[in-house]
Homo-oligomer: A and B are copies of this chain.
């Protein structure tokens, strides 16, 4: 891999912790890879062979029960880190929700490099702490929120996270965006069925809180109302 200095996530991924010369060393260990929508890059239960930075695209982190039930336990955006460093097995799968570009490292190489670069580990720690906060917030949703609250929360979360890297954005998030998930995936993330997700979206639309220009697009018409409905903590 050459020329990380041109990388679009150079300053937002954990690489931001590194000086140019250190970055050169790391870049020798990694390679850019394109993955197509639907492609799985990490399998649950497999040896944790690789880790990666997301350069572009959106991916899901998911866990399965043997009988086919699936729970999405994380959604990963550009500049986020994926994989399970410092662990033998990956407890989850990672699958592309859109075409994506990754900056991939072998886990053993990355682990060794990270252990020698405390600033990098510090960035990784901060990222992991944030991810843990988000996971716990989602546990509250899955354990205690009603269907309409879950859907409202998801829309706000997507609005916010999709807006984070974007250029011209309000503090709160995008008012119009394309969902990176289909209805089934929304259900798998929210602990609901596809039908329930669809009904709740229809209801929000009927109430004028949102518009649904097409299958994937969402426009938030009344953010305040959506926030009330989300039963935020």
Taking Cβ atoms with an 8 Å cutoff, the residues of A that contact B are 44-45, 61, 63-67, 69-71, 73-74, 84-87, 91-92, 115, 118, 121-122, 124-126, 128-129, 131-133, 135-140, 142-145, 188, 190-191, 231-233
Contacts and interface: CB of A to CB of B under 8 A. Distances in A.
Given A131-B132, A132-B131, A140 B65 contact: yes
Nearest to A116: B118
A183 to B, nearest CB: 16
Given A64-B233, A118-B121, A142-B191, A129 B71 contact: no
Nearest to A189: B143
B191 A129 contact: no
A136 B231 contact: no
Contacts of A135: 132, 135-136, 139
A136 B62 CA distance: 9
Contacts of A125: 86, 121, 124-125, 128
B142 A63 contact: no
A133 B233 contact: no
Contacts of A84: 129, 133
B191 A91 contact: no
A16 to B, nearest CB: 15
The 7 closest A-B CB pairs, nearest first, are: A143-B191, A142-B142, A118-B118, A73-B136, A135-B135, A71-B143, A71-B140
Contact of A139 (B118, B124, B126, B139): B139
A88 to B, nearest CB: 12
A189 to B, nearest CB: 8
A61 B131 CA distance: 16
A231 B67 contact: yes
A109 B118 CA distance: 18
Contact of A231 (B65, B124, B231): B65
A126 B86 contact: yes
